[in-house]
């Protein structure tokens, strides 16, 4: 049974932002796990070539942010944009040659990250203005009071498989399960902001660094073991957090592909289904022949 | 064209000492007095920076209902880049001297540091600390980054440690005679370190993924039981398994990191008692010896802060 929500009581708010440039300093290099200095692109601006469903790792990149990276110029407005924007929200380009193109939010990373399929992204660049239709914060599942939902567009939740099981647990399909040892940078931060880097996904590096996460894809739904993200991000045995992989390849040690948080609660409140297709690409960016109605923006 | 490198690499480089200026921090809050604890309850954070009275080395990290409380005064600098340098260059054991205010002339010692914006935690005798106030200027005699003690196995990295306080800590170097507490050290190629406890890397919280030269690592430890089981004290050495902090702090199977507990627990999720890392290396070359009941880390008596 589809999970019941208070979606009808949520507001949809119009927010604005602009594509924000990559940022660097004059020292240029960062350092990898074995002391390797590197200078690699991936964070900020518009990153082409990588979309939901594509491998998260295996690129010559650091903190790979697929698609457009978006901020607001005013610091207070920017925090509102970062906190209120939810995965699955629609993003529309309103200036520049890509004006009119629509994409979807795939996560947060101190930038709002928006994936655009098709040729539109190639015309998008720093400074282009976008409109975000923000909705999702405040989402409640009345039949699952122990589960806290955040950063999740109600339309996305409606499109995801699973729901309330006869035994009362919340069924969620996940493409991967992540051990607590993998939790990297982002621990201790607010779970409505940025994401949680996962270590152990350094494709091509030593076995002593691997936690078996090299197969993650952008947009994958993942389950984080022993993670409580209800009021921040912390380690708590027998809790579970569901996230969506919103960033990819990292060379910087202690960092890695990262899930943005979608829901969190006691592990006993969830029923996980291992499903290799549990990816945003299946629900937000279906192939053109299947995209008669976009579930994430359906009324 | 560069001439061939003719330096003798068998001779360790000489350390330089840098006098840094810190100011005693004033606690700061943003627009709301509340933070949200790990159970979703709002609380007013106390003890998060500035001067904390009545907390000393050897006290439990869970002794106070406070947020990241540290035993002494937190030092900062008004310029963000200078503040980062203060945190990065200061080392545990560095001497500090109060330059202004009622406690001018008082001596203190760096006990560790905290990350993000950067803070140096300096311990003082209780009577001196009671005379200090936020804004007092303090000089830090920074020395230690780049140091490698003789006999340290090449795989092991040392950081954040003033050479002068190595004898005060239960660290036994190969060939340097027995460590003060571990009773080992001779006849082995490994560093032996007495610690309160070894914890798994999965409890590593805030600080993971950040540079260990300028950040502490919060450990998400539960409060001790009624009998004190599981307690850690300020100044204790604690080991973390499967953690490598040479280049940022991150997971590496078979690696050990040892740090000193510099601040107490926090209600925030992902936070807890914090360690300033001192040693990191493969488990074959860095061996922690946990002693939950008998461990003694850095003490006020050893630092002559009483």
| Nearest chain A residue (CA) to B35 | A231
Chain A residues near residue B201 by CB distance under 8 angstroms: 181
Q: Which residue, chain included where needed, has tokens 């040729």?
A: A119
Nearest to A255 by CA among A43, A23, A25: A43
> Domain map of chain B by residue range?
18-142, 157-290
Does the pLDDT at position B186 exceed 90? no
The pLDDT-based confidence of B6 (bands split at 50, 70, 90) is low
Q: Could you report the predicted ipTM of this complex, rounded to two decimals?
A: 0.89
Nearest residue in chain B measured CA to CA from A181: B202
Q: What would the pLDDT profile of B216-250 be if each residue is shown by its tens digit?
A: 999 999 999 999 899 999 999 999 999 999 999 99
User: Cβ–Cβ of A255/B209 closer than 8 Å?
Assistant: yes
Q: What is the predicted pLDDT for the residue at A299?
A: 36
pTM exceeding the 0.90 threshold for the entire prediction: yes
Summarize pLDDT for B146-155 with one digit per residue, the tens: 999 999 999 9
CATH class of B18-142: mainly beta
Tell if the CB–CB gap between A253 and B39 is shorter than 8 Å.
no
Q: What are phi and psi of A64, to 5 degrees?
A: -55, 120
- Apex A159 CA angle, A157 and A164, nearest 5: 60
SS3 A107: strand
CA distance B57 to B256: 24
SS3 letters for B209-221?
CCCCCCCCEEECC
Give the pLDDT band (50/70/90) at residue B91: very high
Nearest CA in chain A to B250: A254
Kindly determine whether residue B249 and residue A228, on different chains, have CB atoms separated by under 8 Å. no
pLDDT of residue B114: 96
Residue B185 pLDDT class (50, 70, 90 cuts): very low
Question: Of 2.102.30.10, 1.10.357.10, 3.30.450.40, 3.40.50.300, which CATH number belongs to B157-290?
Answer: 2.102.30.10
> Do the chains contact at A181 and B200, CB–CB below 8 Å?
yes
Q: Which two tokens stand for residue B24?
A: 């005693």
Residue B77's nearest CA partner among B27, B118, B19 is B118
- Tokens 């700061």 correspond to B28
Contact A185 B209 (CB under 8 A): yes
Out of A33, A229, A230, name the one closest to residue B250 (CB). Answer: A33
Quick one: pLDDT at residue B177?
Answer: 53
> Tell me: the pLDDT tens digits for B23-57?
999 999 988 999 999 999 999 999 999 999 999 99
pLDDT of residue A26: 87
Q: What domains are defined for chain A?
A: 11-134 (2.40.10.170), 148-283 (2.102.30.10)
Q: What is the pLDDT of residue A288?
A: 43
Grouped pLDDT means (10 residues each) for chain A, 299 residues: 96 97 90 93 94 95 96 97 98 97 96 92 96 98 98 97 97 98 96 96 90 96 98 98 97 96 98 97 65 41
Partner-chain contact A184 B209, CB within 8 Å: yes
Q: Which residues of B touch A234 (CB under 8 A)?
A: 38, 205, 220, 268-271
Nearest CA in chain A to B266: A188
- Residues of chain A with Cβ-Cβ distance to B269 below 8 Å are 188, 228-234, 236
């Amino acid at each position: 049974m589809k999970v019941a929500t208070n979606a009808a009581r949520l507001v949809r708010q119009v927010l604005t932002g602009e594509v924000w440039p990559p940022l660097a300093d004059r020292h240029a290099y960062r350092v990898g796990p074995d002391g390797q200095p590197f200078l690699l692109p991936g964070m900020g601006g518009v990153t082409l070539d990588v979309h939901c469903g594509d491998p998260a790792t295996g690129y010559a990149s650091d903190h790979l942010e697929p698609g457009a990276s978006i901020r607001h110029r005013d610091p207070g407005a920017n925090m509102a944009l970062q906190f209120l924007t939810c995965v699955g929200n629609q993003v529309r380009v309103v200036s520049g040659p890509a004006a009119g193109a629509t994409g979807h939010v795939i996560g947060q990373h101190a930038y709002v990250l928006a994936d655009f399929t098709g040729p539109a992204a190639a015309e998008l660049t720093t400074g282009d203005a976008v409109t975000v239709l923000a909705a999702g914060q405040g989402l409640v599942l009345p039949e699952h009071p122990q589960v806290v939902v955040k950063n999740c567009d109600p339309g996305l939740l409606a499109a995801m498989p699973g729901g309330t099981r006869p035994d009362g647990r919340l069924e969620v399909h996940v493409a991967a399960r992540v051990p607590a040892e993998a939790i990297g940078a982002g621990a201790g931060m607010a779970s409505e902001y940025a994401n949680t880097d996962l270590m152990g996904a350094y494709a091509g590096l030593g076995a002593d660094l691997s936690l078996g996460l090299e197969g993650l894809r952008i947009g994958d739904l993942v389950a984080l073991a022993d993670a409580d993200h209800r009021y921040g991000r912390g380690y708590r045995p027998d809790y579970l957090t569901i996230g969506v992989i919103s960033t990819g390849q990292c060379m910087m040690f202690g960092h890695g592909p990262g899930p943005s948080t979608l829901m969190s609660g006691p592990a006993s409140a969830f029923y996980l289904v291992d499903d290799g297709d549990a990816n945003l690409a299946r629900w937000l960016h279906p192939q053109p022949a299947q995209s008669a109605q976009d579930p994430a923006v359906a009324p | 064209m560069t001439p061939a490198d003719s330096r003798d690499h068998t001779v360790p480089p000489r350390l330089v000492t840098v006098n840094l200026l810190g100011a005693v921090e004033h606690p700061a809050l943003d627009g709301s007095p509340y933070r949200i604890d790990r159970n979703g309850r709002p609380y007013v954070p106390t003890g998060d920076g500035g001067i904390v009275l009545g907390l000393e080395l050897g006290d439990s990290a869970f002794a106070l209902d406070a947020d990241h409380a540290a035993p002494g005064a937190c030092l900062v600098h008004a310029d963000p880049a200078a503040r980062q340098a203060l945190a990065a260059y200061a080392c545990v054991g560095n001497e500090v001297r109060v330059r202004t205010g009622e406690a001018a002339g008082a001596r203190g010692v760096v006990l560790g540091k905290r990350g993000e914006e950067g803070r140096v935690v300096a311990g003082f005798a209780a009577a001196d600390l009671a005379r200090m106030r936020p804004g007092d200027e303090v000089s830090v005699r920074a020395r230690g980054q780049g140091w490698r003690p003789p006999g340290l196995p090449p795989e092991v990295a040392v950081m954040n440690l003033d050479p002068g306080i190595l004898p005060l800590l239960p660290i036994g170097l190969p060939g340097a005679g027995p460590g003060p507490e571990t009773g080992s050290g001779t006849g082995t190629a490994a560093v032996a370190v007495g610690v309160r406890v070894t914890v798994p890397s999965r409890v590593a919280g805030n600080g993971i993924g950040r540079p260990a030269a300028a950040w502490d690592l919060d450990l998400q430890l539960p409060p001790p039981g009624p009998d004190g089981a599981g307690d850690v004290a300020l100044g204790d050495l604690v080991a973390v398994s499967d953690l490598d902090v040479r280049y940022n702090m991150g997971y590496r199977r078979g690696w050990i990191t040892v740090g000193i507990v510099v601040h107490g627990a926090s209600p925030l999720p992902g936070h807890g008692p914090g360690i300033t890392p001192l040693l990191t290396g493969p488990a074959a070359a860095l061996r922690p010896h946990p002693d939950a009941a008998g461990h003694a880390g850095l003490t006020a008596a050893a630092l002559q802060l009483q």
